[in-house]
Structure 1
């Protein structure tokens, strides 16, 4: 189908990775990707500190990753190139210094999103997913390194959006005694209790029972990637419906392994291996709290929401 819209590009600086999307809008109104790329550049360490700060090494690696992704984006000659940052930069005392470095080294202005903005763009991005075109009432979750975004939709309109400091890097630093060792039952229990308490204290409920839930973000993407490798499939050939049973089985497998062995598992990026057990425990705590037996996984997320806004037809 003919592409009738100019392209737009988005670079998203997260706690665990930095990602880019170049997208355009087709004549039928659907937004499609021209190119996507992810660099596993973790800048979000020390998120559990009283006053988190980006290290000099993290800022250097982050700026280099943005420069690399910007070159990819610019090759498409987009009308607009937007760079945003979420929890890791938002919560850091020197986030403004990092933004200035991005400006100096790449010529790009870094927009640091609030938690509300982050949640809103995730919701808008989910509405771009053709697999969800017939969905009306549903919940949406996105787990990153620094935060967990929780949204609820009714008649395809957002009725709630909240950002909680429950990211997998943050909780690993706070609750896991030694990420290089197998996840102990005690640490697993601490993570689940901490997440459940935070959801309860935020006043969240996911009534009525049976309302479907969507999950985007690296945890479920990585789960599907591990399944794909084990079954000799491509990522998109795996089931988009990811059950709590599957997540629990994967946590049982990963949780008994030390970090060095987790890093050898096909489909699991080595730089995510230290926080993956915490991420899985967090999703399972959410599933139990909300009564979700499964999540519909979507690849559409914050970057798609920003692209959708930029490509809105007059």
Structure 2
């Protein structure tokens, strides 16, 4: 069947269209993105602004039409940190549904972690043993550990790259002092979560998923996306340290010229690198394998397993 997955994130809204069947490898057919930066559209009262809500509404309308034109039998729509954190979430999503006919499900952070873990497990298989998974989004960091498709430990922390950039790294480029202070704060914040993950057992494989980790791996020498998803890519702590020393002295405009860094993420890649470094340091991980699958693939796989992970709406 042809499925559409509409992911409303903190930075972008992303429609992925795939051909998929139970027991098969989801085959991507098209990918459409819009940069809305919804996390920056939360006002002082915690509400999403009218501008943010209207931008989201028109984008979902457009993407629903694209899904229909692409022959999607169903669309699974979900929202993560930015929409989840807004105090007027119900009002915003009601507006979206009224205009587009699409119900957007709000995923809790722990559910994000579990679905990402499912995608990683399916990619690497049972022979990988215990997998420790890291996923950095715009608003949150997800961490899991487990030997099964349902992880034994699933954590979601408000340590996303966009959130930390806004709260901790003013200036372009950020000052050495701000970078140092954020490093120390992250070490303190990750101390207990790392202890919980270690208590589950020593990992046989440590994995980073999400665009942030793919970008960091590319910046430290991993193969480009054009080499295909099955080429092994890794990220090391030592490589991250060298990268942070380099990119933290650059402006966002200069970072956007680096291969592997999109213009919409250039401003937050320093915070993303600091979170990745701190998470690896806290858990004692020296090297991460980079998984091409993440949350969206997890949603698809759960749907194919006939276990709902979002709201399914026919657009036919």
Same fold (TM over 0.5): yes
- Secondary structure at the counterpart of residue 44 of structure 1: helix
**Which one of the candidate residues 181, 191, 196 is aligned to 2:187?**
196
Which of 246, 249, 252 is the aligned partner of 2:242?
Answer: 249
Q: Distance in 1 between matches of 2:174 and 2:141?
A: 21
Q: 1:101 to 1:163 in 2, by over 3 A?
A: same
How far is the alpha carbon of 1:127 from its aligned partner? 2.8
CA RMSD of aligned residues (A): 2.7
Aligned residues of 2:117 and 2:149 also touching (Cα < 8 A): no
Please say if 1:284 is aligned against 2:277.
yes
Answering whether residue 75 of structure 2 is matched by residue 81 of structure 1, we say: yes
Q: Given that residues 182 and 255 in structure 1 are in contact (C-alpha distance below 8 angstroms), is that contact kept between their aligned partners in structure 2?
A: yes
Post-superposition, which runs of at least 4 consecutive aligned residues in structure 1 deviate over 6 A? 230-233
Provide the rounded CA distance (Å) in 2 between the counterparts of 1:114 and 1:74. Answer: 27
Measured at CA, do residues 31 and 10 of structure 1 come closer, stay the same or move farther in structure 2, by a change above 3 Å?
same
Gaps of 5+ in 1: 1-5
State which of 21, 27, 37 in structure 2 corresponds to 1:32.
27
Aligned to 1:260: 253
Structure-1 separation of matches of 2:212 and 2:293: 14
Partner of 1:175: 168
Residue 62 of structure 1 corresponds to 56
1:295 is aligned to 2:305? no
Alpha-carbon separation, structure 1, partners of 2:119 and 2:23: 17
Contact 2:218 2:260 in 1 (8 A): yes
Call closer, same or farther: CA 1:28–1:82 in 2, change over 3 Å: closer
Equivalence for 1:53: 47
What does residue range 104-115 of structure 1 map to in structure 2 within 5 Å?
104-115=98-109
Query: Is 1:135–1:156's contact at 8 Å kept on the other side of the alignment?
Result: no
Q: For the residues of structure 2 that align with 1:274 and 1:156, how far apart are their CA atoms?
A: 34
**Once the 2 structures are TM-superposed, how far is the Cα of residue 76 of structure 1 from its aligned partner?**
3.1
* Residue pair 1:248, 1:284 contacting (<8 A) in 2 also: yes
Aligned partner of 2:228 in structure 1 is: 236
